[in-house]
Amino acid sequence: MNYDNFQPLIIAFCCQYCSYSAADLAGSMRLQYPTNVRIIRTPCTGRLEVEYYMRAFEKGADGILVAGCLEGGCHFSEGNLLAKGRVGYTGKFLSESGIEKERIRMINISAAGARPFVEQLNDLIEVIKLLGPNPLTKISNPLNKETLQ
């Protein structure tokens, strides 16, 4: 299948203490990243549960980026470490369900890391472009993308 014009829908869960600021800074610095990235601010990546990720894929997201603080730098001590485990567990669940585990990724970024944030985001988008759309959207009627948009 040709995915040349495919623009993946990415949900980026960003911790408000670091990567959300980094994303904000990316805007101030005029760094470019695709417009089809939906940023969701979270109080801490440790607040994110596996069901949120599963539900996002179920609703048609093509990829998920979970951006937390640098390891050892979590505002709540270990929220980002919890998130790391949950992202890994989600990958396992996705593989069992028939979705590539590479579609979800966790990164650790400081509030000043606008450039690494954009680089990581673009890298994930490239990976997902190679994988193609979420298998659910490929199969049936292109479902709930409107819900997410």
Where do contacts with another protein occur on this chain (CB under 8 A)?
49-51, 54-55, 57-58, 93-94, 96-99, 135-136, 139-140
Closest to another protein by CB, 28 or 141? 141
Strands 63-68 and 37-42: unpaired
Closest to another protein by CB, 34 or 85? 85
CB of 13 to another protein, least distance (A): 16
**How many Cα atoms within 13 Å fall on the side-chain side of residue 82?**
13
CB of 138 to another protein, least distance (A): 9
Euclidean distance between CA atoms 89 and 66, whole angstroms? 13
Closest to another protein by CB, 55 or 72? 55
Q: At what angle do helices 114-131 and 19-28 cross, to 10 degrees?
A: 100
Nearest alpha carbon to residue 118 among 42, 46, 12: 12
The SS3 of residue 131 is helix
CB of 93 to another protein, least distance (A): 5
CB of 71 to another protein, least distance (A): 17
Q: Which helix (H) or strand (E) holds 130?
A: helix 114-131
Closest to another protein by CB, 58 or 102? 58
